Amino acid sequence: MFSSSSEPTTPIASSTPSQLSSSMVNKCHQSVLNTIKSQTEAIAHLQQQYATDLFSIDNLITSIITLYQTHSRGGKIVITGIGKSHKLASKLVATLNSLCIQATSLHPSEALHGDLGLINESKDCLIMLTASGNTPELINLLPHLSPDLPILLLTCNKFSTLSISNRIHSLLLAELPNSHNEVAIHGLPAPTVSTTLSLILADSVILALSEAIESDLIKRKKLFGSKHPGGSIGASLNSEAGSSLTSDGSATSLLSLKNAQHQDKESNLKLAPEANKEGGVKSTPLTSVTISKSSSISFDGQGLEMYAASKSHPRPEIANTSPTSTSTQAQTQAQAHVKYISHDEIIKIEETMLLKWITLYDSLQIKHTDLKVNIMQVRQLYRQVCNEDVADQETGSNWSKFKWELLRSFK
Protein backbone atom coordinates (compact mmCIF):
# COMPACT_ATOMS: atom_id res chain seq x y z
CA MET A 1 0.00 0.00 0.00
CA PHE A 2 1.37 3.32 -1.03
CA SER A 3 1.58 6.08 1.50
CA SER A 4 0.81 9.61 0.44
CA SER A 5 3.10 12.39 1.43
CA SER A 6 1.85 15.82 2.33
CA GLU A 7 5.17 17.44 1.44
CA PRO A 8 4.98 19.70 -1.61
CA THR A 9 6.79 18.51 -4.70
CA THR A 10 9.77 20.54 -5.82
CA PRO A 11 9.19 22.10 -9.28
CA ILE A 12 11.63 21.17 -12.00
CA ALA A 13 14.00 24.03 -12.62
CA SER A 14 13.81 25.57 -16.07
CA SER A 15 16.95 25.30 -18.19
CA THR A 16 16.14 28.64 -19.82
CA PRO A 17 17.23 31.70 -17.85
CA SER A 18 14.52 34.25 -17.15
CA GLN A 19 16.79 37.08 -18.30
CA LEU A 20 19.49 37.44 -20.91
CA SER A 21 22.95 38.30 -19.72
CA SER A 22 24.93 41.00 -21.46
CA SER A 23 27.18 38.38 -23.07
CA MET A 24 24.16 36.54 -24.46
CA VAL A 25 22.74 39.79 -25.82
CA ASN A 26 26.05 40.44 -27.55
CA LYS A 27 25.99 36.92 -29.02
CA CYS A 28 22.47 37.51 -30.36
CA HIS A 29 23.56 40.79 -31.91
CA GLN A 30 26.54 39.12 -33.53
CA SER A 31 24.31 36.29 -34.80
CA VAL A 32 21.97 38.79 -36.47
CA LEU A 33 24.90 40.57 -38.12
CA ASN A 34 26.32 37.24 -39.28
CA THR A 35 22.99 36.20 -40.82
CA ILE A 36 22.54 39.51 -42.61
CA LYS A 37 26.11 39.40 -43.91
CA SER A 38 25.76 35.83 -45.16
CA GLN A 39 22.43 36.48 -46.86
CA THR A 40 23.76 39.65 -48.46
CA GLU A 41 26.74 37.73 -49.86
CA ALA A 42 24.41 34.98 -51.14
CA ILE A 43 22.27 37.59 -52.91
CA ALA A 44 25.36 39.18 -54.45
CA HIS A 45 26.37 35.73 -55.71
CA LEU A 46 22.89 35.32 -57.25
CA GLN A 47 23.22 38.64 -59.06
CA GLN A 48 26.64 37.66 -60.42
CA GLN A 49 25.28 34.26 -61.45
CA TYR A 50 22.61 35.77 -63.70
CA ALA A 51 25.03 38.30 -65.12
CA THR A 52 27.66 35.77 -66.23
CA ASP A 53 26.45 32.14 -66.13
CA LEU A 54 25.16 31.14 -69.59
CA PHE A 55 23.32 28.06 -68.32
CA SER A 56 21.34 30.13 -65.81
CA ILE A 57 20.60 32.89 -68.33
CA ASP A 58 19.38 30.44 -71.01
CA ASN A 59 17.07 28.70 -68.55
CA LEU A 60 15.83 32.04 -67.23
CA ILE A 61 14.88 33.20 -70.73
CA THR A 62 13.17 29.89 -71.51
CA SER A 63 11.22 30.11 -68.24
CA ILE A 64 10.00 33.66 -68.86
CA ILE A 65 8.95 32.76 -72.40
CA THR A 66 7.02 29.74 -71.10
CA LEU A 67 5.23 31.87 -68.51
CA TYR A 68 4.48 34.54 -71.13
CA GLN A 69 3.02 31.97 -73.53
CA THR A 70 0.91 30.49 -70.73
CA HIS A 71 -0.58 33.89 -69.98
CA SER A 72 -1.07 34.68 -73.69
CA ARG A 73 -3.15 31.55 -74.31
CA GLY A 74 -5.37 32.24 -71.30
CA GLY A 75 -3.78 29.70 -69.01
CA LYS A 76 -2.80 30.03 -65.37
CA ILE A 77 0.47 29.52 -63.52
CA VAL A 78 0.18 26.70 -60.97
CA ILE A 79 2.80 26.69 -58.19
CA THR A 80 3.43 23.69 -55.96
CA GLY A 81 5.74 22.94 -53.05
CA ILE A 82 5.64 21.46 -49.59
CA GLY A 83 6.67 22.75 -46.18
CA LYS A 84 8.21 26.22 -46.35
CA SER A 85 8.08 26.01 -50.15
CA HIS A 86 4.29 25.70 -50.00
CA LYS A 87 4.11 28.89 -47.96
CA LEU A 88 6.41 30.58 -50.46
CA ALA A 89 4.11 29.39 -53.26
CA SER A 90 1.14 31.10 -51.60
CA LYS A 91 3.03 34.41 -51.54
CA LEU A 92 4.07 34.14 -55.19
CA VAL A 93 0.52 33.29 -56.26
CA ALA A 94 -0.76 36.38 -54.43
CA THR A 95 1.82 38.56 -56.20
CA LEU A 96 0.95 37.16 -59.63
CA ASN A 97 -2.79 37.62 -59.12
CA SER A 98 -2.29 41.21 -57.94
CA LEU A 99 -0.54 41.88 -61.25
CA CYS A 100 -3.50 40.41 -63.19
CA ILE A 101 -1.57 37.23 -64.04
CA GLN A 102 -3.77 34.25 -63.22
CA ALA A 103 -2.13 31.86 -60.76
CA THR A 104 -3.05 29.29 -58.11
CA SER A 105 -1.22 27.10 -55.61
CA LEU A 106 -1.34 23.30 -55.51
CA HIS A 107 -0.39 21.18 -52.52
CA PRO A 108 1.43 18.10 -53.84
CA SER A 109 -0.26 15.74 -51.36
CA GLU A 110 -3.73 17.11 -52.10
CA ALA A 111 -2.93 16.90 -55.82
CA LEU A 112 -2.81 13.10 -55.56
CA HIS A 113 -6.25 13.13 -53.94
CA GLY A 114 -8.16 15.00 -56.60
CA ASP A 115 -6.66 18.49 -56.82
CA LEU A 116 -4.87 17.59 -60.05
CA GLY A 117 -8.17 18.51 -61.65
CA LEU A 118 -7.38 22.22 -61.31
CA ILE A 119 -4.61 21.90 -63.91
CA ASN A 120 -5.53 22.45 -67.55
CA GLU A 121 -2.74 20.61 -69.38
CA SER A 122 -3.43 22.37 -72.69
CA LYS A 123 -3.15 25.90 -71.27
CA ASP A 124 -1.45 25.97 -67.86
CA CYS A 125 2.13 25.58 -66.71
CA LEU A 126 3.48 24.29 -63.39
CA ILE A 127 6.25 25.68 -61.19
CA MET A 128 7.76 23.30 -58.63
CA LEU A 129 9.47 24.85 -55.61
CA THR A 130 12.14 22.83 -53.84
CA ALA A 131 15.49 24.04 -52.55
CA SER A 132 17.03 20.56 -52.57
CA GLY A 133 15.40 19.35 -55.77
CA ASN A 134 14.89 15.99 -54.08
CA THR A 135 11.50 16.50 -52.40
CA PRO A 136 9.78 13.05 -52.42
CA GLU A 137 6.27 14.50 -52.72
CA LEU A 138 7.18 16.37 -55.90
CA ILE A 139 9.06 13.40 -57.36
CA ASN A 140 6.02 11.19 -56.73
CA LEU A 141 3.82 13.76 -58.46
CA LEU A 142 5.73 13.70 -61.78
CA PRO A 143 4.32 10.41 -63.20
CA HIS A 144 0.78 11.72 -62.78
CA LEU A 145 1.33 14.93 -64.77
CA SER A 146 0.62 15.19 -68.48
CA PRO A 147 3.75 15.21 -70.68
CA ASP A 148 2.19 18.21 -72.45
CA LEU A 149 2.33 20.27 -69.26
CA PRO A 150 5.38 22.60 -69.13
CA ILE A 151 7.11 22.23 -65.76
CA LEU A 152 9.51 24.84 -64.37
CA LEU A 153 11.71 24.04 -61.37
CA LEU A 154 12.75 26.73 -58.89
CA THR A 155 15.61 25.20 -56.93
CA CYS A 156 18.96 25.83 -55.28
CA ASN A 157 20.47 22.55 -56.50
CA LYS A 158 21.63 22.21 -60.09
CA PHE A 159 22.31 18.46 -59.83
CA SER A 160 19.27 16.95 -58.10
CA THR A 161 16.73 14.28 -58.99
CA LEU A 162 14.28 16.85 -60.31
CA SER A 163 16.90 19.15 -61.86
CA ILE A 164 18.16 16.43 -64.22
CA SER A 165 14.72 14.96 -64.95
CA ASN A 166 13.69 15.11 -68.62
CA ARG A 167 10.22 16.16 -67.46
CA ILE A 168 11.53 19.53 -66.34
CA HIS A 169 11.16 22.15 -69.06
CA SER A 170 13.57 24.70 -67.56
CA LEU A 171 15.29 25.65 -64.31
CA LEU A 172 15.09 28.80 -62.24
CA LEU A 173 18.32 28.18 -60.39
CA ALA A 174 18.98 30.12 -57.19
CA GLU A 175 22.48 28.81 -56.71
CA LEU A 176 23.50 28.61 -53.05
CA PRO A 177 27.21 28.14 -52.27
CA ASN A 178 27.99 25.64 -49.50
CA SER A 179 29.75 28.39 -47.57
CA HIS A 180 26.48 30.33 -47.34
CA ASN A 181 23.88 27.63 -46.72
CA GLU A 182 21.94 27.31 -43.48
CA VAL A 183 24.15 24.63 -41.94
CA ALA A 184 27.32 26.65 -42.54
CA ILE A 185 25.79 29.74 -40.95
CA HIS A 186 23.94 28.34 -37.92
CA GLY A 187 24.57 24.61 -37.92
CA LEU A 188 20.88 23.92 -38.61
CA PRO A 189 19.23 23.21 -41.97
CA ALA A 190 16.26 25.49 -41.20
CA PRO A 191 15.20 27.08 -44.52
CA THR A 192 16.32 30.70 -44.40
CA VAL A 193 18.92 31.66 -46.99
CA SER A 194 17.49 29.24 -49.55
CA THR A 195 13.98 30.69 -49.18
CA THR A 196 15.38 34.23 -49.40
CA LEU A 197 17.17 33.50 -52.68
CA SER A 198 14.16 31.63 -54.08
CA LEU A 199 11.85 34.51 -53.20
CA ILE A 200 14.15 37.13 -54.74
CA LEU A 201 14.58 35.17 -57.96
CA ALA A 202 10.86 34.36 -58.23
CA ASP A 203 9.82 37.97 -57.57
CA SER A 204 12.32 39.18 -60.17
CA VAL A 205 10.90 36.80 -62.77
CA ILE A 206 7.31 37.81 -61.95
CA LEU A 207 8.09 41.51 -62.33
CA ALA A 208 9.93 40.90 -65.61
CA LEU A 209 6.94 38.87 -66.82
CA SER A 210 4.50 41.66 -65.97
CA GLU A 211 6.68 44.14 -67.88
CA ALA A 212 6.75 41.81 -70.90
CA ILE A 213 2.96 41.51 -70.81
CA GLU A 214 2.41 45.26 -70.48
CA SER A 215 5.36 47.54 -71.21
CA ASP A 216 3.50 50.76 -70.32
CA LEU A 217 4.17 51.59 -66.64
CA ILE A 218 1.04 53.73 -66.31
CA LYS A 219 -1.15 50.89 -67.56
CA ARG A 220 0.57 48.43 -65.22
CA LYS A 221 -0.09 50.74 -62.27
CA LYS A 222 -3.76 51.00 -63.25
CA LEU A 223 -4.10 47.24 -63.50
CA PHE A 224 -2.34 46.76 -60.16
CA GLY A 225 -4.48 49.44 -58.52
CA SER A 226 -7.70 47.88 -59.85
CA LYS A 227 -6.82 44.62 -58.06
CA HIS A 228 -5.51 46.34 -54.92
CA PRO A 229 -8.13 48.90 -53.82
CA GLY A 230 -7.57 48.46 -50.07
CA GLY A 231 -4.82 49.43 -47.66
CA SER A 232 -2.20 52.12 -47.98
CA ILE A 233 -1.02 50.76 -51.34
CA GLY A 234 -4.54 50.94 -52.76
CA ALA A 235 -5.11 54.41 -51.35
CA SER A 236 -1.87 55.67 -52.89
CA LEU A 237 -2.50 54.14 -56.31
CA ASN A 238 -6.13 55.19 -56.48
CA SER A 239 -5.31 58.76 -55.47
CA GLU A 240 -2.97 58.93 -58.46
CA ALA A 241 -5.69 57.53 -60.74
CA GLY A 242 -8.39 59.90 -59.46
CA SER A 243 -10.24 57.57 -57.11
CA SER A 244 -11.51 58.15 -53.61
CA LEU A 245 -12.06 55.86 -50.64
CA THR A 246 -15.52 55.73 -49.14
CA SER A 247 -16.17 55.53 -45.42
CA ASP A 248 -16.45 51.74 -45.55
CA GLY A 249 -12.98 51.43 -47.08
CA SER A 250 -14.10 50.64 -50.61
CA ALA A 251 -12.72 52.52 -53.59
CA THR A 252 -15.03 54.54 -55.82
CA SER A 253 -13.52 55.44 -59.15
CA LEU A 254 -14.19 58.93 -60.45
CA LEU A 255 -13.85 57.47 -63.91
CA SER A 256 -16.69 55.03 -63.19
CA LEU A 257 -18.90 57.86 -61.97
CA LYS A 258 -18.18 59.97 -65.05
CA ASN A 259 -18.83 57.02 -67.34
CA ALA A 260 -22.18 56.50 -65.66
CA GLN A 261 -23.02 60.16 -66.19
CA HIS A 262 -22.03 59.89 -69.85
CA GLN A 263 -24.25 56.86 -70.30
CA ASP A 264 -27.21 58.69 -68.75
CA LYS A 265 -26.69 61.66 -71.06
CA GLU A 266 -26.39 59.37 -74.07
CA SER A 267 -29.68 57.73 -73.13
CA ASN A 268 -31.35 61.13 -72.94
CA LEU A 269 -29.94 62.09 -76.33
CA LYS A 270 -31.43 58.95 -77.88
CA LEU A 271 -34.87 60.03 -76.66
CA ALA A 272 -34.53 63.41 -78.39
CA PRO A 273 -36.04 63.76 -81.90
CA GLU A 274 -33.52 62.89 -84.62
CA ALA A 275 -34.72 65.71 -86.90
CA ASN A 276 -35.89 69.21 -86.09
CA LYS A 277 -39.35 70.19 -87.13
CA GLU A 278 -38.28 73.00 -89.49
CA GLY A 279 -35.68 71.58 -91.82
CA GLY A 280 -35.73 67.87 -91.02
CA VAL A 281 -31.96 67.93 -90.53
CA LYS A 282 -30.54 65.56 -87.93
CA SER A 283 -28.80 67.33 -85.08
CA THR A 284 -25.82 65.91 -83.21
CA PRO A 285 -24.78 67.84 -80.11
CA LEU A 286 -21.02 68.44 -80.11
CA THR A 287 -20.31 67.51 -76.50
CA SER A 288 -17.91 65.15 -74.76
CA VAL A 289 -20.71 62.60 -74.29
CA THR A 290 -20.57 61.70 -78.00
CA ILE A 291 -17.18 60.01 -77.50
CA SER A 292 -17.17 56.46 -78.82
CA LYS A 293 -17.45 53.71 -76.23
CA SER A 294 -14.47 52.06 -77.83
CA SER A 295 -12.28 55.12 -77.24
CA SER A 296 -9.49 54.59 -74.76
CA ILE A 297 -9.40 56.66 -71.58
CA SER A 298 -6.30 57.42 -69.57
CA PHE A 299 -5.34 59.74 -66.76
CA ASP A 300 -2.58 62.30 -66.69
CA GLY A 301 -1.85 61.63 -63.02
CA GLN A 302 -3.82 64.67 -61.79
CA GLY A 303 -7.31 63.23 -62.21
CA LEU A 304 -7.84 64.85 -65.65
CA GLU A 305 -9.12 62.59 -68.40
CA MET A 306 -7.55 62.55 -71.83
CA TYR A 307 -9.65 60.94 -74.55
CA ALA A 308 -7.79 59.12 -77.33
CA ALA A 309 -9.62 58.36 -80.56
CA SER A 310 -10.47 54.72 -81.15
CA LYS A 311 -8.48 52.85 -83.78
CA SER A 312 -11.75 52.05 -85.52
CA HIS A 313 -12.71 55.74 -85.53
CA PRO A 314 -9.89 57.81 -87.08
CA ARG A 315 -9.47 61.42 -86.07
CA PRO A 316 -11.13 63.97 -88.36
CA GLU A 317 -7.82 65.39 -89.52
CA ILE A 318 -6.73 61.95 -90.67
CA ALA A 319 -10.10 60.98 -92.16
CA ASN A 320 -10.18 64.18 -94.24
CA THR A 321 -6.62 63.88 -95.52
CA SER A 322 -6.22 64.62 -99.20
CA PRO A 323 -5.32 61.79 -101.63
CA THR A 324 -1.86 63.30 -102.08
CA SER A 325 -1.03 63.22 -98.36
CA THR A 326 -2.52 59.72 -98.04
CA SER A 327 -0.21 58.50 -100.79
CA THR A 328 2.75 60.09 -99.02
CA GLN A 329 1.84 58.32 -95.77
CA ALA A 330 1.60 54.99 -97.59
CA GLN A 331 5.05 55.53 -99.09
CA THR A 332 6.47 56.38 -95.67
CA GLN A 333 4.98 53.22 -94.17
CA ALA A 334 6.32 51.13 -97.05
CA GLN A 335 9.80 52.48 -96.40
CA ALA A 336 9.67 51.40 -92.75
CA HIS A 337 10.52 47.69 -93.03
CA VAL A 338 9.47 45.71 -89.97
CA LYS A 339 10.54 42.14 -89.22
CA TYR A 340 7.89 40.26 -87.26
CA ILE A 341 9.39 37.58 -85.03
CA SER A 342 8.45 35.32 -82.14
CA HIS A 343 10.11 34.90 -78.75
CA ASP A 344 11.33 31.45 -79.80
CA GLU A 345 13.03 32.89 -82.87
CA ILE A 346 14.98 35.28 -80.67
CA ILE A 347 16.06 32.46 -78.36
CA LYS A 348 17.26 30.31 -81.27
CA ILE A 349 18.69 33.10 -83.42
CA GLU A 350 22.15 32.60 -84.88
CA GLU A 351 24.62 35.37 -85.55
CA THR A 352 24.33 35.15 -89.34
CA MET A 353 20.55 35.58 -89.17
CA LEU A 354 20.92 38.57 -86.85
CA LEU A 355 23.28 40.23 -89.32
CA LYS A 356 20.66 39.72 -92.03
CA TRP A 357 17.97 41.34 -89.87
CA ILE A 358 20.00 44.41 -88.97
CA THR A 359 20.84 44.85 -92.66
CA LEU A 360 17.38 44.48 -94.19
CA TYR A 361 14.99 45.90 -91.59
CA ASP A 362 14.35 49.14 -89.73
CA SER A 363 12.79 47.56 -86.64
CA LEU A 364 11.86 44.24 -85.04
CA GLN A 365 8.42 43.52 -83.61
CA ILE A 366 7.08 40.60 -81.57
CA LYS A 367 4.26 38.88 -83.44
CA HIS A 368 0.71 39.66 -82.30
CA THR A 369 1.93 42.39 -79.91
CA ASP A 370 2.91 46.06 -79.99
CA LEU A 371 6.40 45.33 -78.61
CA LYS A 372 9.05 46.75 -80.94
CA VAL A 373 12.73 47.68 -80.97
CA ASN A 374 14.54 49.97 -83.37
CA ILE A 375 17.22 48.25 -85.40
CA MET A 376 19.79 50.88 -84.37
CA GLN A 377 19.38 49.75 -80.78
CA VAL A 378 19.87 46.12 -81.87
CA ARG A 379 23.08 47.10 -83.65
CA GLN A 380 24.30 48.85 -80.54
CA LEU A 381 23.63 45.74 -78.43
CA TYR A 382 25.39 43.55 -80.99
CA ARG A 383 28.40 45.88 -81.10
CA GLN A 384 28.60 45.77 -77.30
CA VAL A 385 28.60 41.95 -77.32
CA CYS A 386 31.36 41.86 -79.92
CA ASN A 387 33.47 44.24 -77.84
CA GLU A 388 32.94 42.13 -74.72
CA ASP A 389 33.95 38.97 -76.59
CA VAL A 390 37.15 40.66 -77.69
CA ALA A 391 37.85 41.76 -74.14
CA ASP A 392 37.14 38.24 -72.80
CA GLN A 393 39.16 36.67 -75.65
CA GLU A 394 36.36 34.13 -76.06
CA THR A 395 34.23 34.46 -79.20
CA GLY A 396 30.49 33.95 -78.62
CA SER A 397 30.77 33.73 -74.83
CA ASN A 398 28.24 36.54 -74.36
CA TRP A 399 25.71 35.45 -77.01
CA SER A 400 23.12 34.22 -74.50
CA LYS A 401 23.46 37.47 -72.61
CA PHE A 402 22.88 39.36 -75.88
CA LYS A 403 19.65 37.46 -76.57
CA TRP A 404 18.41 38.23 -73.07
CA GLU A 405 19.21 41.93 -73.48
CA LEU A 406 17.53 41.92 -76.89
CA LEU A 407 14.34 40.46 -75.39
CA ARG A 408 14.36 43.12 -72.70
CA SER A 409 14.78 45.93 -75.24
CA PHE A 410 11.35 45.38 -76.81
CA LYS A 411 9.00 48.11 -75.58
CA distances from 289 to 260, 262, 293 (A): 11, 5, 10
Between 354 and 141, the higher pLDDT residue: 141
Question: Which of 86-90, 123-127, 295-299, 380-384 has the weakest average pLDDT?
Answer: 295-299
Between 8 and 354, the higher pLDDT residue: 354
Between CA 236 and CA 238 the distance in angstroms is: 6
pLDDT score, position 78: 97
Mean pLDDT value of segment 146-159 = 94
Enumerate residues 6+ apart whose C-beta is below 8 A from 404. 57, 60, 61
Q: Where are the alpha helices (DSSP H) in 114-216?
A: 136-141, 182-186, 193-213
Structural domains in the chain, sorted by start: 31-214 (3.40.50.10490), 332-409 (no CATH)
pLDDT score, position 17: 67
Beta bridge partners of 79: 105, 127
**CA angle (366 as vertex; 57, 151 as ends), nearest 5:** 45
Q: Quick one: pLDDT band at residue 151, thresholds 50, 70, 90?
A: very high
Q: What is the pLDDT of residues 96-115, one digit of tens each?
A: 999 999 999 999 999 999 99
Q: What is the pLDDT of residues 204-235, one digit of tens each?
A: 999 999 998 888 888 877 877 776 676 666 66
Residue 164 has pLDDT above 90, yes or no: yes
Q: Quick one: pLDDT band at residue 322, thresholds 50, 70, 90?
A: very low
Between 205 and 254, the higher pLDDT residue: 205
Q: Cα Rg for the chain, rounded, in angstroms?
A: 30
Between 351 and 79, the higher pLDDT residue: 79
Between CA 189 and CA 187 the distance in angstroms is: 7
pLDDT score, position 244: 42
Q: What is the pLDDT of residues 288-320, one digit of tens each?
A: 333 333 333 333 333 333 333 333 333 333 344
Between 233 and 50, the higher pLDDT residue: 50
pLDDT score, position 241: 56
